[in-house]
A and B are shown apart, each in its own frame.
Chain A
Amino acid sequence: MHVEVDVPKCVASGQCVLLAPDVFDQREEDGMVVLLDDNPPAELHDAVRESATVCPAAAIRLEES
């Protein structure tokens, strides 16, 4: 799985950080998403998919391999 984030679209809800803290973080100053791992291990895939679906800005894009 390959993960991309569209930072300008991010609205700093932090939903992804709560669901997959090993893959996503937020910038300290404005809360914008920070991608920690663009190729997460299989055991995190469900949490990453859920993050992408629930992201209120549709800022997370996945490519499933």
Chain B
Amino acid sequence: MTATTTSRVVIVGASAAGLAAAETLRREGHTGPLTLIGDEPDAPYDRPPLSKETLSGAWSPDRLPLRTQADLDALDLDTRYGREAIGTSVAEGTVLLADGTEVPYDGLIVATGVRPRRLPGTPAHVLRTLDDALALKDRLGPGRTLAVVGAGFLGAEAASVAAGLGTHVTLLEPAPVPLAHAVGEDVGRMLAQAHFDHGVDLRTGTGVSEVVPGGVRLDDGSVVEADTVLVAVGSRPNTEWLTGSGLTLDDGLVCDEFSAAAPGVYGAGDVARWHNRLFRTSMRIEHRTNAAEQGMAAARNLLGAQRPFAPVPYFWSDQYDLKIRAYGYLRGHDEMRIAEGSLEERKFTAVYRTGDRLTGVLAAGMPPKTTRPWQQAIAASTPWRQATSLLEGAAA
């Protein structure tokens, strides 16, 4: 797609990835019609604070919009907020909306994100949208009880905020160590200890089968009572609307190393599974930074840049007084080593090996500049042995 003055671009998904794509298209010279479709009623807003500052009440919702109205107006978008896309025909170049409208396109960017998985039984709280966060916030405070199902990043952050507001929190996690698959067992155990230290009743190795009135039923049949239940057991990519479109779906919209799903069709953000050349693997990343970076990359490649999207992913998580920052692809790592500091003091830099390469770095309580050399080494595909050769006690 190169005729940037007349060609029509449609972006489905009006959150961080869709917005970054829209800004980048305009900045890189696309002057033709640009439509931004989102199923939420709001202009693009920021999600990471929902489980942090929004839930705690530290920030009011007016801090969440990603751009001012003036900034959005300057992009000259045809915005369709509160409108759900229910189908697309890649062959015909149209998106079908739930209200029956057909929106034609020459280029399409799919940025429809994910939605929370739910559990069977009584409806429970989830945490994805602003409305979700405000509804949950109303249920927190002294004298209240909350059961959080799932001790991943979202569940852990919500438990941390809820406990900080005086709520009695039970945190239920099926794995023996929370977040072990994401950050390793040692760091996971440190995070578990932080929950205990703040009075959260973390129960690992505890599966939940359903939500019941007044609590949740565990796999062993017993019931944990709680006034409020938050289900934080992961997400599903919003790809149902692409069924039958001719696009390939497999736990996300399948894209190549350029983030392309088909000629003129690109994926970006949580919904996109693409081949990251830097890590030589297919990945789908549900982190805020990736949404913006992939939105930018998709826009550029739609305009003909032909640049592989091969970032070093980044995420952060705030849990109690811990601020965790991680760069790279830690999932499925083979080894973790403390490069600096100590886990016991909760001030450390941990590095991760996958195969023979350095693939990740995670830090808590350390000056951010300590991670920068590791970040650059990951971006340069540095072999593990070389990257760690200067560490104390490293094998010769």
Contact = CB atoms under 8 A, between A and B. Distances in A.
A11 B369 contact: no
A62 B23 CA distance: 13
Contacts of A55: 292
A26 B289 CA distance: 17
A14 B265 CA distance: 31
B292 A53 contact: yes
A24 to B, nearest CB: 12
A4 to B, nearest CB: 12
B242 to A, nearest CB: 26
Contacts of A43: none
Contacts, number: 54
B316 A13 contact: yes
A12 B323 contact: yes
A37 interface: no
A7 interface: no
A11 B292 contact: no
A31 B289 contact: no
Interface string B1-42: 000000000000000000010011001000000000000000
A34 to B, nearest CB: 12
Q: Which of A26, A49, A54 has the most CB of B within 10 A?
A: A54
A36 B325 CA distance: 23
B63 interface: yes
Given A12-B323, A13-B316, A49-B27, A56 B292 contact: yes
B294 to A, nearest CB: 10
Given A53-B296, A58-B67, A29 B288 contact: no
B307 interface: no
Interface string B309-328: 00000101000000101000
A51 B317 CA distance: 21
A3 B146 CA distance: 42
Nearest to A54: B292
B67 A14 contact: no
A9 B48 contact: no
A50 B296 contact: yes
A14 B372 contact: yes
Contacts of A57: 46, 48
A64 to B, nearest CB: 8
B66 interface: yes
B293 A14 contact: no
B48 A11 contact: yes
Contacts of B293: 54
B289 A54 contact: yes
Contacts of A56: 48, 288-289, 292, 314, 316
Given A26-B368, A28-B367, A28-B369, A12 B316 contact: yes
A13 B325 CA distance: 8
A13 B316 CA distance: 8
B46 A12 contact: no
Contacts of B368: 12, 14, 26, 30-31
A12 B325 contact: yes
Interface in A33-65: 49-50, 53-58, 61
Contacts of A13: 289, 314, 316, 325
B179 to A, nearest CB: 19
Contacts of A58: 46, 66-67
Contacts of A12: 316, 323, 325, 368
Nearest 10 A/B pairs, CB to CB: A31-B368, A56-B289, A56-B288, A58-B66, A54-B292, A12-B368, A53-B23, A11-B316, A53-B20, A26-B368
Given A12-B323, A54-B289, A58-B46, 20 more contacts: A11-B316, A13-B289, A13-B316, A13-B325, A14-B368, A14-B375, A26-B369, A28-B367, A31-B325, A31-B367, A50-B296, A53-B20, A53-B27, A53-B296, A54-B292, A54-B296, A55-B292, A56-B288, A57-B46, A61-B68
19 contacts: A11-B48, A12-B316, A13-B289, A13-B314, A14-B372, A15-B289, A26-B369, A28-B369, A29-B367, A31-B325, A31-B369, A50-B296, A53-B20, A53-B23, A53-B24, A57-B46, A57-B48, A58-B46, A58-B67
